[in-house]
Amino acid sequence: MKQKKKLIRLKFREAVFKRDNYKCCFCNETEMLDAHHITDRSEMPNGGYVKENGITVCKICHIECEQYHISNGKIWVKGKHPDDLYKIIGSSKEKAIKASII
Ligand SMILES: [Zn+2]
């Protein structure tokens, strides 16, 4: 089970990085990249490990994107609200949920 989870995470990262050309979607950084879950894993079917729910971010931009989740949706960095992130990758929460169920 642990191995399976690890593989799901790896596949998710790879699919997100590939679509975003291995660059942070905000600052074009190419080092220390992460695949950020736009809607938190806990709110998504099957953890939301689909590229429709992921965006490539560097360490610094990732911290800014997490602000929304850390504050339970009360605070976010301008331009880094989940709606902004979905727009950047051409997705939406509805699309992400649909992709997660399949
Ligand atoms: Zn960045």
Q: Is the dihedral of CA 52, 4, 47, 34 positive or negative?
A: negative
> DSSP 3-state assignment of 95?
helix
Give helix then strand counts, H and E, for the chain: 4, 2
**Residue range(s) defining the domain that contains residue 41:** 2-101
* Average pLDDT estimate for 64-79: 97
pLDDT of residue 13 exceeding 90, the answer is yes
pLDDT of residue 62 exceeding 70, the answer is yes
Instruction: Indicate the average pLDDT of the chain.
Output: 96
Q: How far is CA 57 from the centre of its chain?
A: 8
pLDDT of residue 1 exceeding 70, the answer is no
Q: Tell me, in angstroms, the distance from the centre of ligand 1 to residue 58's CA.
A: 4
pLDDT of residue 89 exceeding 70, the answer is yes
pLDDT of residue 2 exceeding 90, the answer is no
Q: Tell me, in angstroms, the distance from the centre of ligand 1 to residue 93's CA.
A: 22
Q: Tell me, in angstroms, the distance from the centre of ligand 1 to residue 83's CA.
A: 18
How many domains is the chain built from?
A: 1
